[in-house]
Amino acid sequence: MVIEIIRALILGAVPVAVFTYLVLQWSVASGRLAPFSDEKALDDQYKEQRKAKKAEKKALKEALEKGEEPPKKEDDRPLFDKSRGEEFLHNKVMFFGGGYYGTMALFAYAVIELDEIFEFLGVVFTPGAWFEYLTFQLIIGFFINTIMNIVGAFTWFLTLQNYVSMGNGWIWLGASYAGYMAGVRLVAQAGDEVWAWLTDKRQQLTTKVSSAIKDASGKQ
């Protein structure tokens, strides 16, 4: 029992805590979430966003039923603007429901996708296997896998057992929730400090590189 608890904390709680921390930090830093004081304040934000999304869908449905043209959202951001990535990540959490369940579902989805990427790379770098792999079945399999991966993410409490040996599921479930709560509390205390620090370092590096390029150009 003790060994199982230790394994669950190391292999379950710690990765979930780090994942939760980074995802929430990014959402706060990008403005998708306001800074919060505890889990309840965070859940309240998720609830409000879900309500707003439902109201938006209802308004769209009513507009279509009346034959009206639905309002178009103007988006002049570049295709690869970083805010799009921030929005995509937060929307993924909301797609899975937000909160503990949504975060765990996104965590499971990331695990599934990474495992398939490594499997694909293994095939790519296997001599003679590349052309055999690129078939019509690959395209069909891709769409089927996409659906199955989403289903697997929603049933994360079953899916994650395929990637790590779990002796007692309840212990691992408790460890994952403890990890989630740890990540939430760290973000509640630190806000978006990590992303702010990373942004500052990136700007410093960009400035140094730009200066070095200008100096090199000036010497020529």
Q: What is the pLDDT of residue 53?
A: 87
Question: Please, what's the b/e burial string for 105-115 (b: 16 or more CB within 10 A of its CB; e: otherwise)?
Answer: bbbbbebbeee
The tokens 């690869």 sit on which residue?
Answer: 80
Phi, psi of 209 (to 5 degrees): -65, -45
- Tell me how far apart the alpha carbons of residues 154 and 203 are, in angstroms, rounded to a whole number: 38
User: Within a domain: residue 109?
Assistant: yes
Q: What is the mean pLDDT of residues 34-60?
A: 90
Looking up tokens 């279509």, which residue turns up? 64
Question: Would residue 136 count as lying in a domain?
Answer: yes
Q: How far is 82 from 192, CA to CA, in rounded Å? A: 16
pLDDT-derived band at 124, boundaries 50, 70, 90: low
Banded model confidence at residue 125, pLDDT cuts 50, 70, 90: low
Distance CA(73)–CA(87), nearest Å, equals 15
Residue 144 has pLDDT above 60, yes or no: yes
User: When comparing pLDDT for 199 and 96, which is higher?
Assistant: 96
Residue 190 lies in a domain: yes
pLDDT tens string 160-212: 999 998 988 899 999 999 999 999 999 998 766 776 777 778 788 888 888 87
Residue of 54, 151, 56, 50 whose CA lies nearest to 91:
50
Q: Which of 61-70, 114-123, 129-138, 207-216 has the lowest mean pLDDT?
A: 129-138
Taking the CA atoms of residue 82, residue 88, residue 89 and residue 90 in that order, the dihedral angle to the nearest 10 degrees is 110
Is 219 a domain residue? no
Structural domain contains residue 162: yes
Residue 208, φ and ψ in degrees, nearest 5: -65, -45
- Cβ atoms of 104 and 156 within 8 Å: the answer is yes
Q: What is the pLDDT of residue 200?
A: 77
- The reported pLDDT for the residue numbered 80 is 42
**pTM higher than 0.85, yes or no?**
no
Query: What average pLDDT does the chain have?
Result: 83
In a domain, 206, yes or no: no
| Furthest CA-CA distance within the chain | 69
Q: Quick one: average pLDDT of 49-73? A: 80
49 in any annotated domain: no
pLDDT over 50 at 79, yes or no: no
Please tell me the total count of domains within the chain: 1
Residue 112 within any structural domain of the chain: yes
Q: Which residue, 217, 188, 200, is CA-closest to 33?
A: 188
Average pLDDT over residues 56-80: 69
Range of the domain at 116: 2-42+80-201
